[in-house]
Chain A
């Protein structure tokens, strides 16, 4: 459907009236290129149809749904506690955040508060999880741009985080770490030591990643000025997370709408000035440093007490609906839960950050070269499990 060009509509497209896949007739020097679902750099099964003029990209269309598993439908047939493990599988790279969002949403619906000790444990694990997600992002993004070694360094350091997760809850990736009402697992002996040791271990490693990339002239040429997204476009498209912060908007849900125990900690929100790929890279590296700061503060001050609130064995939240969102590593992860008073939710709608951020791909990549498409997909940091659910 052609979109009318107007001053009020910030999404009006100048060059493309029809989506590339609907176009029936091409101009002579235009080419439709399919970056198929099986591709080494589309982080998962994502199909991007590009309309090219030689090397320049005129328009894109993303085809998603190759990883759709019907998670929201599954939720309607499981009890609230049973749905918890499914939630990890959406953003499988950063599973702890998903669990946190869901548990907090249900707790808000039921009007229970997790005890402070549980909140501190949640914060520590979520920040470790943020670091793991950003490390994986860094490795794969560098790999797409051609630097093949940072991948191995970041994965090696991510292993240490996964070891901590394994010792805490028994699984590395799909952690199922939290329960509705608090945490099930008590911290194991040596948890604080492990976490502190990890923080001291990883700080010089972050410096190493920066040595390899931040000042490297080839990296600068590949990422500066590529994939520009203005702050107005971000707000119009609903883009959140590091992409929004790199465009200059200082919006972080951990400070704007604090949840868990974030009120007790001191940390900064890194922002960028130009909204290009290089700034997103700098913002995520700075976020990793800030996460280290939060973890070190939290680990010294875990309060004593119970880790689980008093909730009934059979969860029957009152009739109503709630939307609760947290700052996942990729953006604002939101859960909209509608309860009809029974043990199974009536509707669970997940607002995945990658799905909303992916809309910005078209705007970021217009007028850039084909080689930049790969860099831009990497810099939005998408996980197809989240996009498709």
Chain B
């Protein structure tokens, strides 16, 4: 055992093993980089990205019933749901929905709190804006949904 250790020491076996490992990793198949933006990452279905207000596919009416549960659930209190009472049906109808993305931490509590499938966090993660006001989304932007960026330059 002593001889073995001595031989390993003078023949630098440990250093050569390390060198062999890094040499082997030069194989181009081992490369793990994704060249963004040519290769976009595949995100999971449950990914908590940009919010979206869903609309009924056939009638194009919003699914939101203006119950205000998402605003109550948000830890940062950045959702403002404004509604008015429809006299005919005696129900609340959504007028405006403001979501402040600059303070959002994408925790998903609003998505969990929503009783209908109206508020959903999508897979969009490209949320950069040029202005601070651009990060405050109103109802129209939210209903439009994610706009994947196409890079021209």
The answer to whether the Cβ of A55 comes within 8 Å of any Cβ in the partner chain is no
B48 contact set on A, CB distance < 8 A = 170-171
Are A216 and B105 neighbours in the complex by a CB distance under 8 Å? no
Are A82 and B75 neighbours in the complex by a CB distance under 8 Å? yes
User: Which of these binds chain B: A4-12, A121-129, A161-169?
Assistant: A161-169
Are B43 and A166 neighbours in the complex by a CB distance under 8 Å? yes
Query: Whole-angstrom distance between the alpha carbons of A10 and B106 in the complex?
Result: 47
Q: Write out, one digit per residue, whether chain A residues 204-223 have a CB within 8 A of any chain B CB (1) or not (0).
A: 00001001100111100000
In terms of DSSP, what is the predominant structure of the interface of chain A? helix
A184 contact set on B, CB distance < 8 A = 112
Nearest CB of chain B from residue A80's CB, rounded to whole Å: 11
The answer to whether the Cβ of A83 comes within 8 Å of any Cβ in the partner chain is yes
A85 contact set on B, CB distance < 8 A = 75, 105, 107, 109
The answer to whether the Cβ of A263 comes within 8 Å of any Cβ in the partner chain is no
Are B21 and A212 neighbours in the complex by a CB distance under 8 Å? yes
Partner of A188, one of B21, B46, B109: B46
Query: Whole-angstrom distance between the alpha carbons of A215 and B15 in the complex?
Result: 8
Are A176 and B108 neighbours in the complex by a CB distance under 8 Å? yes
In terms of DSSP, what is the predominant structure of the interface of chain B? loop
A81-B109, A149-B22, A176-B108 known; A170+B47 contact, CB < 8 A: yes
Are B17 and A215 neighbours in the complex by a CB distance under 8 Å? yes
Interface size bracket, A side = 20 to 34
Q: Write out, one digit per residue, whether chain A residues 185-219 have a CB within 8 A of any chain B CB (1) or not (0).
A: 10010000000000000000000100110011110
A83-B75, A216-B18 known; A166+B105 contact, CB < 8 A: no
Nearest CB of chain A from residue B42's CB, rounded to whole Å: 9
Are B22 and A170 neighbours in the complex by a CB distance under 8 Å? no
Query: Whole-angstrom distance between the alpha carbons of A83 and B107 in the complex?
Result: 10
B25 contact set on A, CB distance < 8 A = 149, 153
Nearest CB of chain A from residue B144's CB, rounded to whole Å: 21
The answer to whether the Cβ of A86 comes within 8 Å of any Cβ in the partner chain is yes
Q: Write out, one digit per residue, whether chain B residues 18-43 have a CB within 8 A of any chain A CB (1) or not (0).
A: 10011001000000100000000001
Are B17 and A166 neighbours in the complex by a CB distance under 8 Å? no
A81-B109, A168-B46, A176-B108 known; A216+B121 contact, CB < 8 A: no
Query: Whole-angstrom distance between the alpha carbons of A170 and B45 in the complex?
Result: 7
Closest chain A residue to B9, Cβ basis = A217
The answer to whether the Cβ of A268 comes within 8 Å of any Cβ in the partner chain is no
Query: Whole-angstrom distance between the alpha carbons of A239 and B75 in the complex?
Result: 33
Are B75 and A86 neighbours in the complex by a CB distance under 8 Å? yes
Query: Whole-angstrom distance between the alpha carbons of A166 and B123 in the complex?
Result: 11
The answer to whether the Cβ of B3 comes within 8 Å of any Cβ in the partner chain is no
The answer to whether the Cβ of B81 comes within 8 Å of any Cβ in the partner chain is no
Given contacts A82-B73, A174-B106, A217-B9, 14 further A-B contacts (CB under 8 A): A85-B75, A85-B105, A85-B107, A89-B105, A149-B25, A159-B32, A163-B44, A167-B45, A171-B106, A184-B112, A185-B46, A188-B46, A215-B17, A217-B15
5 smallest CB-CB distances across A and B, nearest first, come from A85-B107, A170-B48, A170-B46, A82-B75, A215-B14
- Of the A-B pairs whose beta carbons lie under 8 Å apart in the complex, a sample of 29, sorted by A's number, is A83-B75, A84-B107, A86-B75, A149-B22, A152-B32, A153-B25, A163-B44, A166-B43, A166-B44, A166-B46, A167-B44, A167-B45, A167-B46, A169-B46, A171-B47, A171-B48, A171-B108, A184-B112, A185-B46, A188-B46, A211-B17, A211-B18, A212-B18, A215-B14, A215-B17, A216-B15, A216-B18, A217-B9, A217-B14
